[in-house]
Amino acid sequence: MSSRKYSYIVFMSSFVFLVMLFAGSCKSVLRDSSKDKIAGKNIDKQVEELLAKMTLSEKIGQMVQINDFDGVISDELKQRLRDGKIGSMLNEIVPEANLEIQRIAVEESRLGIPLIMARDVIHGYRTIFPIPLAQAATWDPNLAQACARIAAKEASSAGFQWTFAPMMDIARDPRWGRIAEGFGEDPYLGSCFAAAMVRGFQGDDLSSPDTIAACAKHYVGYGAAEGGRDYDTANIPESLLRNVYLPPFKAAVDAGVAAVMSAFNEINGIPATGNVHTLRDILKNEWGFDGFVVSDWKSTAEMMEHGFCEDMRDVAEKSIIAGIDMEMQSSAYGDYLEELVKEGAISEKLIDDAVRRILRIKSRLGLFEKPSIYSAKLPGKPNEEALALAKTTAMKSMVLLKNNDKLLPLSKDLKSIAIIGPLADDPYEVLGTWNRDGKPEDTITPLAAILDMIGGDTEINFITGLPYSRSKDTSEFAKAIELAKKSQIVLFFAGEESILSGEAHSRAYLNLPGAQDELIAELAKTDTPVVLVIFAGRPLTIGDIAEKIDAILYAWHPGTMTGSAVADLIFGIESPSGKLPITFPKTEGQIPIYYNHKNTGRPPEGKQLTMIDDIPLRAYQSSLGDAARYLDIGYKPLYPFGYGLSYTQFEYANLKLSSDKVKLGDNIKVSVDVTNTGDMEAEEVVQLYVRDLVASLTRPVKELKGFKRIRLKKNETKTVDFALSADSLGFHTNEGKYVVEAGKFHLWTGGSSEAELMTEFEIIE
């Protein structure tokens, strides 16, 4: 038995998580309840007075959300509004209908309670910013906050007060299509971006006319679906749930998120929508969340398909007991809650709690006083501020994966360029998944931006080669090869269409769709260097193609300013600075693959490994002294978490700690010198990782604990400091308790999760 002494400290979860966030470059701020006053009115008092006037039927009406997007207000809908039978609507995109619906609710119902009008504003409204996974690749939460702020301004002007974002599901499986909507695989990075987007949507004052309520989704474990199949089962031990999947939601709650959405999946046999443990015990009671919980689209009714509920009456009962305050689209609440209360199956106090939460958010939004509920107008073309932000975010999100012989950046003096690929001049697909309100006519494509940048002295030889990304039509291959041969460089714009990622779009094979691989391979056989730019909503398995070509820029789905961002990077106006928020597998067989894995009893690192081709014929049956990996692919990813090249080089040195011993409750100062040793001014994301070497529960081989984005001129050196709290180095046990244990730790700094500059320290009692 180990002689190591353990010291356990159990904290309130909110305090622990704040400590964790302050260790790096992102912050989360607890919502200040003292701001719950609008126009001199105390919100709690306003809510209680209104609640006391409501009939049971009117209360239940506040818990009902319905979908409407055709602009037609039927007589039935009008009567339901007058009777107070609806509390929220989503997807009413016709401004005139939006206004009329609100007018009826306010002026013709008994109590005049406004509706919350909702819309999926995931990564922009009219101005489309990079998909959330791409925003995470900036490693700059301030940019994500600014993007959400613009989106809130545009959406609120159209008459919406609520968005179903941000999505903060931690995902370790790129087969899952919804990985595009989240912030990647790491709970620390994901927490930073979750809090930032909440602050962006909601602003400093939720009652301001240009703010909208945010909704943290999907609570919880949705990204852990088996096989990466959307909506599928998740089995998550309590310690894993709390250490990996819950932290971003806690960060959102601490940032004051107005609403939380329950997930489609089940967790350990209990659907997330009917899960008392996660919804009531953790979210509402332990964390003190005082907003409201909305179900996902018909996820209440789907509990019958799960085999958890017998009928819709059972659905209503189990949903309200679990803590679902508002039902999206399905009808269990409207049809059965009143009956359940009158029969004594559930207490009216559960109804009161749910309605109180909904009214509280409506009051915080200022809907009872907000004149903007009587105004709605679709925003016009994106303004200069929005376009500049979209371009900056797109540039900082793109990750340079390969750059042989410093092929990039290109000179503007090239005599000829071949621009090839199905996404070179497509203004729609680069907008990405969940683009509901962006306009392709606003998009600047790569072809348009390059033509604008290099003028008329360079010959541009353009052909798509394939009519669209999934096409297997090879009829233009010969022409594409001919254009490549007569050009000095090939820029190939590949990827997957926006519809191939996002909800319900899981993929078993993650290669480039259609005949793109085949065309790129043929172009690589020419003597012309090939630069591959990939637009996608997830990591793709591009290892075979990567070996054949000279440079790869991973651009995700960058949004409205796609072409301008790509052109500036390709021609060296700015250096790429994006870093991967998700590990790239070599092949689907490695999935799940993520940097913060466990060491196992037979770690492969540093061992002489036997590969499949090394095994003698009819070899003696043994383990061959091997380790935790695959015989045919090894254990390394194609590209690790945190990875990204630059047009310059950065050198890390002088890693120092203020002390090699730190007491529980104290901080340790970490500093490292970073030097730009190349020829170009550029930005670097400095990353801090730790490892707890021995613990009562085994810990990951590395965990991100801080990051800072810095800009360095040629030959410039900066000392980067981190304040690392000992209290942020704990973990949750299988009993749900947060503990910090004394013992030794390793610490690394560098430009990716494979950072090698290391020191060590010890937490002491």
Q: Token match 């996660």: residue?
A: 278
* Amino acid at site 325: D
pLDDT of residue 259: 98
pTM for this entry = 0.96
- Find the length of the chain: 765
pLDDT band at 241 (very low <50, low <70, confident <90, very high): very high
Asked whether the CA dihedral 104, 106, 111, 114 is positive or negative, the reply is positive
On whether both 565 and 661 belong to a single domain, the answer is: no
pLDDT on residue 5: 36
Residue 641 in domain? no
Which range marks the domain in which residue 449 is found? 385-570
| pLDDT, tens digit (0-9, with 9 covering 90-100), for 67-101 | 976 788 999 999 999 999 999 999 999 999 999 99
Give the active site residue among 169, 173, 296, 442.
Answer: 296
The pLDDT mean for the chain works out to 94
Q: Which of 513, 544, 570 is the last residue before a domain boundary?
A: 570
* Residue 750, domain member (yes or no): yes
Let me know whether 669 and 564 are in one domain.
no
Enumerate residues 6+ apart whose C-beta is below 8 A from 630.
589, 590
User: On the CB side of 462, how many CA atoms lie within 13 Å of its CA?
Assistant: 14
Q: Which pLDDT score is estimated for 179?
A: 98
Alpha-carbon gap, residue 312 to 163, rounded angstroms: 27
CA distance linking residue 629 with residue 588, whole number of Å: 14
Say yes or no: 544 and 416 in one domain. Answer: yes
Check if 254 is active-site.
no
Distance CA 366, CA 377 (A): 19
| 566 & 667 share domain | no
Q: What is the pLDDT of residues 589-608, one digit of tens each?
A: 999 999 999 999 999 998 88
State how far the Cα of 514 lies from the Cα of 676, in Å rounded to an integer. Answer: 41
| Distance separating alpha carbons of residues 172 and 186, to the nearest angstrom | 9
**CATH number reported for the structural domain that contains residue 452 in this entry:** 3.40.50.1700
What are 622-657's pLDDT values in tens digits? 886 789 999 999 999 999 999 999 999 999 999 999
Here the tokens at position 645 are 């090249």
User: Which of 509, 538, 570 is a domain's end point?
Assistant: 570
Same domain, 442 and 532: yes
Q: What is the model's pLDDT at position 134? A: 99
Kindly state the average pLDDT of the residues 329-334.
97
Pairing state between β 682-692 and 661-663: unpaired
Q: What's residue 374's pLDDT?
A: 83
Report if residue 460 sits inside a domain.
yes
Amino acid at site 626: D
Q: How many structural domains compose the chain?
A: 2
C-beta separation of 510 from 479 below 8 A: no
Residues 6+ apart with CB under 8 A from 329: 65, 66, 67, 297, 298
* Helices within 64-94 (DSSP H only): 75-82
- For residue 285, is it within any domain? no
Could you tell me if residue 128 is inside a domain? no
**Contact (CB, 8 A) for 234 and 257:** no
Q: What integer pLDDT is reported at residue 675 of this predicted model?
A: 98
Q: What is the CA radius of gyration of the chain?
A: 27
Q: What is the pLDDT of residues 672-697, one digit of tens each?
A: 999 999 999 999 999 999 999 999 99
pLDDT of residue 436: 94
Instruction: Report the 3 state secondary structure along 156-184.
Output: HHCCCCEECCCECCCCCCCCCHHHHHCCC
CA end-to-end span of the chain, whole Å? 20
Banded model confidence at residue 371, pLDDT cuts 50, 70, 90: confident
Q: Which of 516, 549, 570 is the last residue of a domain?
A: 570
The answer to the question of residue 486 being in a domain is yes
- Measured distance CA(181)–CA(474) in Å, rounded: 33
In a domain, 668, yes or no: yes
Does 619 fall in a domain? no
Are residues 445 and 547 located together in one domain of the fold?
yes
Contact 211, 203 (CB under 8 A): yes
Please report which confidence band the pLDDT of residue 17 belongs to, taking 50, 70 and 90 as the band edges: very low
- Whole-number pLDDT of residue 606: 85
Closest listed residue to residue 218, CA positions, set 189, 259, 188, 177: 259
Kindly state the DSSP code that residue 258 receives in the 8-state scheme: S
Ordered strands of the 703-712 beta sheet: 661-663, 757-764, 743-750, 682-692, 703-712
Is the distance from CB of 334 to CB of 85 less than 8 angstroms?
yes
Query: For residue 493, what are the contacts with CB-CB under 8 A and spacing of at least 6?
Result: 419, 420, 421, 422, 423, 424, 446, 533, 535
4 has a pLDDT exceeding 80: no
Largest CA distance in the chain: 84
**Both tokens of residue 179?**
């990985």
Three-state SS string across 427-486, please?
CCHHHCCCCCCCCHHHCCCHHHHHHHHHCCCCEEEEECCCCCCCCCCCCCHHHHHHHHHC
Local structure of 619: helix, strand or coil = coil
Q: Are residues 420 and 558 in the same domain?
A: yes
The conformational region for residue 288 under phi > 0 = left, psi -120 to 50 = alpha, else beta, is left
